[in-house]
Amino acid sequence: MWTRYPRKKRTDPYYDLFEDFDLILSSMRSQYGLSLASQEFRQMRWDEFAALLSGIGPETALGRVVAIRSETDPDILKHYTQEQRRIRDSWMARNKATISKEEMTDALENIKQALIQMAGGGG
């Protein structure tokens, strides 16, 4: 199992490794077929887990929740269901004070670099 390290600065402002662990596990299972009970999962190194997590797609449980939490388009927001509003508002209220402008800039830069690499650029 993983060695416990001090919490690092968050790299994605729309999910929390601890609070959203059930969504992460569900998403790992649906996208990669990995089970928490599997030997493969238990022996996985942290960097491999982090890489798989960063590749979680929008069709997974975590991907759908992250899409709800991160939406900023007023036209889309006005059509949110009551449950979508509850998910987004709860997340924003809980994290309003914890997401600094610097963290947001860092997260956006990470996304930008990932997209550049996916497109075949950046080395």
Q: State the residue for tokens 């790992």.
A: 28
For residue 95, give its domain range: 21-118
Residue 111, classed as helix, strand or coil, is: helix
Alpha helix ranges (H) inside 17-120: 21-32, 39-42, 46-54, 61-70, 74-77, 82-95, 101-118
Tokens of 8: 């690092």
Task: Return the pLDDT at 98.
Answer: 64
Domain assignment present for 7: no
Task: Return the pLDDT at 71.
Answer: 93
Task: Return the pLDDT at 26.
Answer: 95
Segment 24-28 shows an average pLDDT of 93
Report the domain count for the chain: 1
Domain assignment present for 13: no
pLDDT digits over 98-114, tens only?
A: 667 787 788 888 887 77
Whole-number Å distance between alpha carbons of 107 and 94: 18
Domain assignment present for 88: yes
pLDDT top residue among 119 and 71: 71
Task: Return the pLDDT at 123.
Answer: 55
What φ, ψ does residue 87 adopt, rounded to 5°? Answer: -60, -50
Domain assignment present for 14: no
Task: Return the pLDDT at 82.
Answer: 96
Segment 70-91 shows an average pLDDT of 94
* 25 has a pLDDT exceeding 60: yes
Residue 36: band (very low, low, confident or very high) from pLDDT cuts 50, 70, 90 = confident
Domain assignment present for 6: no
Tokens of 20: 């959203």
